[in-house]
Structure 1
Amino acid sequence: MGHHKSFIYIVTLVATLGGLLFGYDTAVISGAEKSIQAYLIDSQGLSSFLHGVTVSSALIGCILGGAISGVISSSLGRRKALIVAGILFLLSALGSGNPEFLFFEKGVPSMGLLWMFNFYRIVGGIGVGLASAVCPMYIGEIAPADIRGKLVSLNQFAIIFGMLVVYFVNWGIADGQTTEWINNFGWRYMFLSEAIPATIFVVLMFFMPETPRYLAFQQKDDKALKILTKLNGVEKGREILSEIKGSLASTSKGELFSYGKVVIIVGILLSIFQQFVGINVALYYAPRIFESMGAAKDASMLQTIIMGLVNVVFTVVAIMTVDKWGRKPLLITGSIGMAIGMIAISYLAFQDIIGMATLVFIIVYTASFMMSWGPICWVLIAEIFPNKIRSQAIAIAVAAQWAANFFISSTYPPMMEFSSGGTYLFYGIMSILSAIFVWKMVPETKGKTLEEMENVWVK
């Protein structure tokens, strides 16, 4: 292949910093959550409902960011959309760490301060929603067909890696400090630490190219060809440009349903299943799950780090195999593994058996997700939509994903109160349904150019 490997990898790595910030921003709250509760909620005698809202307020921003990503990436371009996301991450880090800025007195918790903190978290959430839609799109539109799956999967690796990094950063900030210090100051440093990767990301994105598909869409063929040549070599570059121009010249005007409704439905269902199998419950509530299963406080934190490492290892498995085995076999295998894990946990919960077996099946479940639905869902969302409707369709799929995430995360505590065995059984059944859905409805995209994908949907 005539790719210029080093250039492709540099561009991909910079773009995946957006994924790293996505993971960092979503997980930073896990270390700060108890201090936020002490500093802003309990000190004012506020309800646990407000605590729940505060912990998950960033998700509201994520849904918003996902929903507006189509408009922003179509009007500004993919590269500038990522710069906007980076600036939002930076503002959120500085604001969440110092919510008193300009309007409030330092060290005096008030209702207004709580809303201000939530406002900055939502700003960060909008950045996460934007990055979660635009990073895979950007990488997908730049990557050559034969390594596209691997490169888009790197974004999921960056998300998981960002979560792991922030677990260590939070632990490092809190290590050896008094609870009082953490509750007054420590949590601030946790949020402020995100300003460092955010600044690096914004600066580096200024030096990155716009995607050739977006440039061709804007009739800037010379610029598009220049980048395609840099990515694929002269001959292949020309060939791809004429394919892109062909796909843009086809009869449809780029209305959302111009390729039929099925492609949009498949995109939305991929997103919903990725959440309804219950993965974020396993990630957000990991320490609580382990504690409820009888692990001591310190051990539950350690088990969370073990899970973080399992996540990283099995995401690497997906990166190594996605372009060899294809998307469908990996997704179906993962669904079966998740179903086995969750149904076993459900059975153990109904029998009141808690112990090593539970941890083993949680790892079976998480590993199955990380080698399949974790990265591959994003790969498919970046690939299956035709050029003309890609930015709108990805926006809808990603907004659906964050809405499903919000729904599953917020229903978990009441479902567990009702029946823990039943809750895990529900996620197990969703895993089985996800396998049937992929088998019946999802096309294989391995090795096809984004333009060849259009023929799958053209009526």
Structure 2
Amino acid sequence: MKKHKNLYIVLITLVATLGGLLFGYDTAVISGAEGSLQNYFADNLNLSSLVHGLTVSSALIGCIVGGLISGYFATRFGRKRTLILAAALFLLSALGSAYPEFLFFTAGEPSYALLLVFNLYRIIGGIGVGLASAVAPMYIGEIAPSHLRGRLVSLNQFAIIFGMLVVYFVNWGIARGQTAEWVNEIGWRMMFASESIPALLFLLLLLTVPETPRYLASQNKSDEALSILNKIYDKTMAKATLYEINHSFDTKRGKLFSFGVSIIVVGILLSVFQQFVGINVALYYAPRIFESMGAARDASMFQTIIMGLVNVIFTIIAILTVDKFGRKPLLIIGSLGMTIGMFGVAGLAYANAIGIATLVFIIIYTASFMMSWGPIVWVLISEIFPNKIRGQAVAIAVAAQWAANYFISSTYPMMMEFSGGLTYTFYGVMSILSGIFVWKFVPETKGKSLEQLEMRLRRDKGREEGDKPMAKSK
């Protein structure tokens, strides 16, 4: 019976993680098309490197919007319906980005208006990514029992990285053996259009999964919530869990800062550090980085695949260890590894000794990120916020993450023109600071139910409030 219930949970989780796969697919598809976009838009229209960087990163504007509105949609319409909306946006973006000339423009004739429309389709996809990035981990976290939650939420990060790996193969397969002219004319369109297949699959499979019991309880649908919980736990545990969930909604506390400002700040800084360490620079510009090492176009995309395989392997390591060793130790170890990797790349850039050693240090860096900051930040964001404010708080944390992502990704080409060594040094310093932040301020959440974590947060808040009169009397 237990195996049957675990299988049910895993199957639901796998459907939700398709949102993560599309998150990874949508954000990484640009890596194969980036050079062609520069040829089609930037070179033909004489655009600056800053404008090209903004175009490559334009989806992140949508990610910020999607992150900001995710709390409202998840609270107002439910976790499941919000994911359905995200799937529809992925599908529209894939087709529109592949052929932005549809209806109003002529293919092969770039213009500023066409560039704007292309960016609009990318932003639409970004809104889907922003919604999915916030709500998919939230959905899994609210469905999963505490002893499996870390691993199951980490599966979402695995899906993100797997989506990136899939699109690296797709991009490489499309470009392999083709001339640069063909890729610049047709290949990049096929890369974007390929996303429509997983987007449609995600949309259809979402129709088969339930809403989360915690959302149903928040809507006073306890019978429906109990029905779902009975499929996850035995009957006694299901009733006890429902009682804890309902009790968490009994309190009148529902304002964003009613559990203290510090937990919101921790969520925001986790998100910001996840981006300021520079991971998406490595993901978005990977082929260009490897081309700068002297690799041909096909070879640079193949080296990107190698990096993608490493990312998958080390994300699996995180999945297998997050519920055993805890969140904090893995984050701190990851910060150390990222520091070594980024300072190694920076040193080689300063010495103008770009070569195979650069690939080694990039792999050390990305492997360290994927076994720690990649999956575990999403786990923590799905765990640390109380039931009543989870939608709002996750939305703010995710929006901050995408804003940081947009800043880092869009400024990379300009920073590299100034100094490659200084650029990578900055990411290395951020890696050091991320480890210090986790050590000093991030709580451990391993093995506790969401409601137990909320009770601890209330006790901490109560102690802070109880200390205030004493402080005043001194």
Same fold at TM > 0.5: yes
Matched, 1:27 2:16: no
Whole-Å separation in 2 of the counterparts to 1:216 and 1:371 = 34
Matches within 5 A, 1:152-191: 152-191=153-192
Whole-Å separation in 2 of the counterparts to 1:73 and 1:290 = 40
Whole-Å separation in 1 of the counterparts to 2:112 and 2:369 = 40
- Alignment match, 2:127: 126
| Greater shift in the superposed pair: 406-415 or 242-251 | 406-415
- Alignment match, 2:393: 393
8 Å contact from structure 2 (residues 137, 156) kept in 1: yes
- Alignment match, 2:314: 314
Whole-Å separation in 1 of the counterparts to 2:330 and 2:138 = 21
Matched, 1:377 2:370: no
Matched, 1:58 2:40: no
Helix, strand or coil at the partner of 1:258: coil
Matched, 1:235 2:249: no
Whole-Å separation in 2 of the counterparts to 1:410 and 1:114 = 16
**Aligned-residue offset at 1:89:** 0.4
**Aligned-residue offset at 1:107:** 4.1
Q: Deviations over 1:58-116 (max 9, x none)?
A: 11111111111001111110000000000000111111122222323444433322211
Matches within 5 A, 1:32-431: 32-252=33-253, 254-431=254-431
| Greater shift in the superposed pair: 30-39 or 267-276 | 30-39
Q: 1:113 to 1:308 in 2, by over 3 A?
A: same
Whole-Å separation in 2 of the counterparts to 1:103 and 1:294 = 40
- Alignment match, 1:437: 437
Helix, strand or coil at the partner of 2:31: helix
8 Å contact from structure 2 (residues 172, 301) kept in 1: no
| Greater shift in the superposed pair: 166-175 or 146-155 | 166-175
**Aligned-residue offset at 1:47:** 4.2
| Greater shift in the superposed pair: 168-177 or 67-76 | 168-177
Q: Deviations over 1:336-358 (max 9, x none)?
A: 11112222333333344433333
Whole-Å separation in 2 of the counterparts to 1:423 and 1:36 = 24
8 Å contact from structure 2 (residues 53, 409) kept in 1: no
Q: Deviations over 1:390-409 (max 9, x none)?
A: 01000000000011111111
Q: 1:393 to 1:304 in 2, by over 3 A?
A: same
**Aligned-residue offset at 1:296:** 4.3
Whole-Å separation in 1 of the counterparts to 2:215 and 2:195 = 30
Whole-Å separation in 1 of the counterparts to 2:89 and 2:355 = 43
- Alignment match, 1:457: 457
| Greater shift in the superposed pair: 73-82 or 230-239 | 230-239
Paired residue type of 2:181 = E
Paired residue type of 1:313 = I
Q: 1:229 to 1:160 in 2, by over 3 A?
A: same
TM-score by length of 2: 0.93
Identity of aligned residues (%): 70
Unaligned runs of 5+ in 2: 462-474
Helix, strand or coil at the partner of 1:259: coil
Q: 1:115 to 1:416 in 2, by over 3 A?
A: closer
8 Å contact from structure 2 (residues 50, 413) kept in 1: no
Whole-Å separation in 1 of the counterparts to 2:295 and 2:281 = 18
Whole-Å separation in 1 of the counterparts to 2:245 and 2:25 = 35
Helix, strand or coil at the partner of 1:109: coil
Whole-Å separation in 1 of the counterparts to 2:198 and 2:310 = 24
Q: Deviations over 1:306-353 (max 9, x none)?
A: 111110000000000000111011111111111122223333333444
Q: 1:174 to 1:360 in 2, by over 3 A?
A: closer
**Aligned-residue offset at 1:427:** 1.6
Q: Deviations over 1:207-263 (max 9, x none)?
A: 1100000000000000000001101121111111000011111231x1000100010
Whole-Å separation in 1 of the counterparts to 2:396 and 2:365 = 28
Paired residue type of 1:314 = F
Matched, 1:14 2:53: no
Paired residue type of 1:165 = V
**Aligned-residue offset at 1:45:** 4.2
**Aligned-residue offset at 1:56:** 1.3
| Greater shift in the superposed pair: 427-436 or 400-409 | 427-436
8 Å contact from structure 2 (residues 346, 424) kept in 1: yes
Paired residue type of 1:69 = S
Q: 1:335 to 1:203 in 2, by over 3 A?
A: same
Q: 1:343 to 1:137 in 2, by over 3 A?
A: same
Whole-Å separation in 2 of the counterparts to 1:406 and 1:18 = 20
Paired residue type of 2:347 = Y
8 Å contact from structure 2 (residues 32, 301) kept in 1: no
- Alignment match, 1:446: 446
Helix, strand or coil at the partner of 2:422: helix
Q: 1:98 to 1:418 in 2, by over 3 A?
A: closer
Q: 1:378 to 1:183 in 2, by over 3 A?
A: same
Helix, strand or coil at the partner of 2:158: helix
Q: How many residues align?
A: 458
- Alignment match, 2:469: none
8 Å contact from structure 2 (residues 49, 414) kept in 1: no
Whole-Å separation in 2 of the counterparts to 1:352 and 1:52 = 24
Paired residue type of 1:334 = G
Paired residue type of 1:206 = L
Paired residue type of 1:146 = H
Whole-Å separation in 2 of the counterparts to 1:113 and 1:298 = 28
Paired residue type of 1:94 = L
Whole-Å separation in 2 of the counterparts to 1:55 and 1:416 = 15
Q: 1:209 to 1:103 in 2, by over 3 A?
A: same
Paired residue type of 1:386 = P
| Greater shift in the superposed pair: 318-327 or 111-120 | 111-120
Helix, strand or coil at the partner of 1:313: helix
Helix, strand or coil at the partner of 1:256: coil
Q: 1:175 to 1:293 in 2, by over 3 A?
A: closer
